[in-house]
Amino acid sequence: MDVRYMGRWYEIASFPSRFQPKNGENTRATYTLRDDGTVNVLNETWSDGKRSSIEGTAYKADPSSEEAKLKVKFYVPPFLPIIPVVGDYWVLFIDEDYQYALIGQPSRNYLWFKGPRMEYDVSKLHKTPQSETPPEGEEGPKTPRASGGSNPSWESRQVETVSVCMR
C-alpha cells in the first residue's frame, strides 16, 4: 500500500458488522497520511438521513514488514472518546490502478470491497451460495486447452464478470 491509497474510498459491499450502523448508505472512508507515517481514518455513513462518523488512526502492525497489514485504533464512543478499540485492517488486494480494494482481517469476520468512486451498480451484485463442504471434481478444474473444450456459456460469463468488475 502506498500514498495512492490515500483519499476517499467508497464501500461497494461488506460483511455486516456490529460497529457500523445498520442500513448505512453512501458509506465511505477517507484516509490522510500524517507526518509521523500513521494514517488518519474518517469513516462516514448515512442512515435515515443522519450522518454517523468515527475518526481514528491506522498504523502498520509490523513496521518492518512491507505487507499492508495495519492496525486501526478508534476511540468510543465517538462523542466522548475514552475507550480505545483496536482492530486489524489488512489490505488483501488492490488492483494495479487502485480502482478497487478488498479489505479484511485474520478472523474473516469482516470484509469490505471498496472503490475510489461511487460508480458500481450494487444492484447487479449476486450473492453466490456456498455450502460448508463444497463438492470437488475428480480431477479438479481444467483449462479449455487441456480439456479440448469447455462450456462456452461459462467462458462468456467469465468475460462479462471481469468486464463488469473492471468498469
Instruction: State the number of CA atoms in the 13 A half-sphere of 158 facing the CB.
Output: 8
Cα separation, 148 vs 55, in Å, equals 55
Spatial separation of the C-alpha atoms in residues 10 and 113, rounded to whole Å: 9
Choice between 154 and 2, residue whose per-residue pLDDT is larger: 2
The angle at the Cα of 111, spanning 25 to 23, to the nearest 5 degrees, equals 20
Answer yes or no: is pLDDT of 43 > 80.
yes
Share of the chain above pLDDT 70, in %: 81
What is the largest distance, in Å, between two alpha-carbon atoms of the chain? 65
Task: Please report, for the chain, the start and end positions of each structural domain, with discontinuous segments joined by +.
Answer: 3-118
123: cell is 444492484
Residue from 25, 54, 52 nearest 42 by CA: 54
Region 3-118: CATH code:
2.40.128.20
Q: Read off the pLDDT of residues 138-160 as tens digits, 9 standing for 90 and up.
A: 665 565 544 445 555 544 444 44
Output the pLDDT for position 151: 52
What pLDDT does residue 1 have?
A: 59
- What 3-state class would DSSP assign to 147? helix
pLDDT digit string (tens) for 19-39? 888 889 999 999 999 999 999
Q: Say what the pTM is.
A: 0.74
